[in-house]
Amino acid sequence: METKTGPDEETLYVDTDDAERGSDGPFFVVYRTPDRERRWGYYCGNCESFLTAMDSMGRIKCTDCGNFKKPDEWDAAHE
């Protein structure tokens, strides 16, 4: 795991072994503690940003560079 300084100067832990495939780069899982007990969110591997969002369908998007992960389950009725 890599230690990074996140928003509000908080120390966060990026798990480079646990990632979701994005359109432009991976999204790495981020934890608040090095023991992986308190999950924080995702880190964009494309632009190295913590500014990511996830919706109820599992879609992840980086608000800085536009990197995105398609939803885990997709139904045309949602479009």
Number of domains in the chain: 1
Structural domain contains residue 77: no
> Which position has the token pair 């045309």?
76
**φ/ψ (deg, to 5) at 34:** -70, -15
**Which domain does 7 fall in, by range?**
2-71
Residue 78 lies in a domain: no
Q: Is residue 11 part of a domain?
A: yes
Q: Residue 68 pLDDT more than 90? A: yes
pLDDT (tens digit per residue) in 24-64? 999 999 999 999 999 999 999 999 999 999 998 889 999 99
CA distance 64 to 79: 23
Whether residue 28 lies inside any domain: the answer is: yes
Residue 32 lies in a domain: yes
Residue 79 pLDDT: 54
> Bridge partners of 43?
28
Is 39 among the domain residues? yes
